[in-house]
């Protein structure tokens, strides 16, 4: 019997970049669930807790849509239990295999991101917890503010390397250097 292909992190060979006011890094490929339906963020958080899914962020992704993101790979049984708990009100699609997360942080993170997208990242209009579906150049992604100067970008797996290379060039222009591993 042939061996099944092994999942390899798409950004595994990419070095993090660090500068005085900027950091760019590939984040762990954990879990990303796409939820669609008639529910609320609060209900999703309660269902996650009841299903035993911890350390997950619930992020709005459009009208009646959310991404549930975390750094840990979820067992299929947990995803199934969560999906069953939402039956009748929402559908769950596991996108963990198809999307990648990239972290951009530091005092100049918003400046870096503003070079590729039209989102206003001023804290008054884009506070911590806010998300936006947008384009970075020609690449569609979700950007989430996860801290005062921390952002997480969620992009389709097939565009992750291209996006990372664009971000690398911008980070280097802001004084970052590759971090040796």
pLDDT digits (tens, 9 = 90+) for 11-61: 888 999 999 999 999 998 889 999 999 999 999 999 998 888 888 999 999
- Contact status, residue 48 vs residue 55, Cβ threshold 8 Å: no
State how far the Cα of 118 lies from the Cα of 37, in Å rounded to an integer: 28
- Contact status, residue 82 vs residue 50, Cβ threshold 8 Å: no
pLDDT recorded at residue 6: 64
pLDDT bucket at 119, cuts 50 / 70 / 90: very high
Q: Which among 56, 58, 2 is positioned nearest to 30, based on CA atoms? A: 56
CATH 3.30.1360.120 given to domain 17-28+98-174: yes
- Contact status, residue 68 vs residue 35, Cβ threshold 8 Å: yes
State how far the Cα of 117 lies from the Cα of 120, in Å rounded to an integer: 9
Mean pLDDT within 132-149: 96
Domain ranges of the chain: 17-28+98-174, 31-94
CATH assignment, 31-94 = 3.30.70.3220
pLDDT bucket at 10, cuts 50 / 70 / 90: confident
pLDDT recorded at residue 52: 84
pLDDT recorded at residue 9: 80
Tens-digit pLDDT profile for residues 82-110: 999 999 999 999 999 899 999 999 999 99
């Amino acid at each position: 019997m042939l061996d099944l292909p092994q999942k390899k992190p798409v950004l595994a060979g990419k070095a993090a970049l660090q500068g005085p006011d900027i950091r760019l890094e590939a984040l762990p490929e954990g879990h990303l669930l796409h939820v669609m339906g008639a529910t609320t963020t609060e209900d999703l958080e309660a269902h996650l807790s009841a299903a035993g899914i911890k350390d997950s962020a619930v992020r709005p992704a459009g009208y009646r849509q959310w991404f549930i993101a975390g750094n840990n790979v979820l067992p299929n049984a947990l995803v199934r239990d969560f999906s069953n708990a939402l039956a009748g009100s929402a559908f769950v699609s596991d996108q963990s295999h198809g999307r990648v997360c990239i972290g951009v942080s530091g005092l100049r993170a918003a400046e870096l991101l503003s070079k590729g997208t039209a989102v206003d990242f001023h804290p008054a209009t884009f506070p911590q917890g806010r998300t936006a579906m947008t384009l970075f150049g020609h690449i569609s992604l979700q950007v989430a503010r996860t801290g005062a100067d921390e952002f997480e970008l969620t992009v389709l797996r097939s565009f992750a390397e291209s996006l990372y290379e664009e971000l690398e060039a911008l980070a280097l222009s802001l004084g970052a250097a590759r971090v040796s591993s």
